[in-house]
Amino acid sequence: MTAVSAAYLVAYVTVLFFVLSLLLLLMIAELSGATWLQPWRRHADALIGTLPVLAVLFLPIVVMSRLLYPWLTPGSLPASVRAIVAARSPYLTPAFALARTVVYWAVWIGVGESLRSLSMQRDATRLSEANAARRLRVLTAAGIPLVALTVTFASFDWMMSTDASWVSSIYGLYVFAGGLVAALALLVVIAGRRARTGSEGEGASESLDALGKLLLMAVLLWGYVAYMQYLVIWIADLPSEAGWYVLRSRDGWGGLAIVLLFGHFALPFLLLLARSTRQSATRMQALGLWMLLMHYLDVYWLLVPSLGTSTRAGRVWEVLMLILVVVVTVAGARWRSPRDRFFRSAISRT
């Protein structure tokens, strides 16, 4: 049962933080007046519309929480870890954790649905351009800090706390950066499909080039945050902090870390520097799919060593849970965007 719950958690947070990073990206684009996202706005709205679906999918994690978070059963922990959990009370208590969860989902669904509603009203000309722009500025100015803070604390609660003895203040930014890479990678996949089918018109290469530059920025952000977290912990040289990295450098986890170093950072960095890559629909689509895989492996590397469920049987469950969460999320996106025929066809083809 532990293997099933761990597999579900990895698949779930992979998709959830990808959607939340897309929500933040969309609000930043609206607040800054950027126009590069407009061709992909309806796709982004459809994915953000899956947040109510993802809220329902969170319920199994609540049911399986005692298998995932050792601080919920402190009596089973070593004395040293039990003392750390006790020192962090009342934050690490079931009642407060549940209350925080309710706040997280209220913020995400409230901001996401408000953003989608204003966008649809603007597109349907129910609001004047000036009125829509004003309301969107107010919403995004208030929503960005709220979503950013709740994403940070949710990453602490649902990911970092799988190891109750370890903390990192930059962990939330690391999770957001990984989700941002995945969000842009999916937009690249959709843009590549549109460019290959000719539905984008003459501006296909320029749109791909712009998305490629943004993906390069996100890759650099992820690499910088990952390096800074490692550097600070290495310089401090505290056993309680360094142990997290020691665990992830043994028994094959070190090999996965090298795969992430090259596959999540070095390879896409070098490829995206070339304009010929950024303007090639085939190359960008392949790179986007590759980065989505790297995002899953990154979350896997963050969580599974602490959960201790990396077995052959566990890998079967990991594949099944990932398929389950992705299929339900895609179905939710299609359900929330009944008028967007292209989105449905693009997802089914890719």
The pLDDT of residue 305 is 92
**pLDDT value of position 193:** 82
Interatomic CA distance for residues 197 and 201, integer angstroms: 9
Cβ distance 216 to 273 under 8 Å? yes
- Residue 92 token pair: 């690490």
pLDDT given at position 346:
43
Q: Return the C-alpha torsion angle 192, 196, 198, 203, nearest 10.
A: 40
Helices (H), 124-252: 129-158, 171-197, 204-236, 239-247
- What 31-37 contacts at long range (C-beta under 8 Å, 24+ apart), as own/partner pairs, is 31/136, 31/137, 31/140, 31/141, 31/144, 36/207, 36/210, 36/211, 36/214
What are the residues whose beta carbons fall under 8 Å from the beta carbon of 168, sequence distance 6 or more? 160, 174, 229, 233, 241, 244
Give me the tens of pLDDT residue by residue for the chain, a chain 350 residues long. Answer: 688 999 999 999 999 999 999 999 999 988 888 777 777 778 888 899 999 999 999 999 999 999 999 899 888 888 888 888 888 888 989 999 999 999 999 999 999 999 988 887 776 665 566 777 788 889 999 999 999 999 999 999 999 999 988 999 999 999 999 999 999 999 999 888 877 776 555 556 777 888 999 999 999 999 999 999 999 999 988 888 899 999 999 888 999 999 999 999 999 999 999 999 998 889 999 999 999 999 999 999 999 998 876 666 668 899 999 999 999 999 998 887 745 443 444 444 44
